[in-house]
Structure 1
Amino acid sequence: MNQNNHTRVTEFLLLGLSDDPQTQLLLIVLFLAVYLGTVLGSLLIIYLVLTDSHLHTPMYFFLCNLSLADFGLSTVIVPQAVIHMLTKRNVISFIGCAAQIFLSILPGGAQCSLLAVMSYDRYLAICDPMHYSLIMTKRMCSQLASGCWVSGIITSSVDTLFTVCLPYQGDNKIAHFFCDAPILLTLASGDTHQAEMAIFIMGVGILLVPVALILVSYSAIIVTVIKMKTTSGRLKAFSTCGSHLIVVILFYGTLTITYMTPKSSREQIKQIAVFYGIINPMLNPLIYSLRNKEVMRAFRNAVKKRES
Structure 2
Amino acid sequence: MAEKLLRYGDPQGYLPLREAIAGHVSQTRGVNCDARQVVVLTSSQQALQLIATLLLDAGDRVWMEEPGYAGARNAFVSAGAQLIPVAVDDAGLAPSPGLPTPRLIYLTPSHHYPTGVALSLERRLALLALAQRQQTWIVEDDYDSEFHYDGQPMPAMQGLDRHGNVLYLGTFSKALFPSLRLAYLVLPPALVDAFVTARTVYDGHCAQLAQATTAEFIRQGHFAAHIRYMRQLYRSRRDCLQQQIQRHWVHFAVPQPTPGGLQLCVWLPTGQEADLSRQAQQAGAIAPGLAELYASPSNRRDGWLLGFCCPDPGGNQ
Question: Could you tell me the TM-score, scaled by structure 1's length?
Answer: 0.25
Question: Could you tell me the TM-score, scaled by structure 2's length?
Answer: 0.24
The structure that is helix-richer by fraction is 1
Give the number of the structure whose alpha-carbon radius of gyration is greater.
1
The structure that is strand-richer by fraction is 2
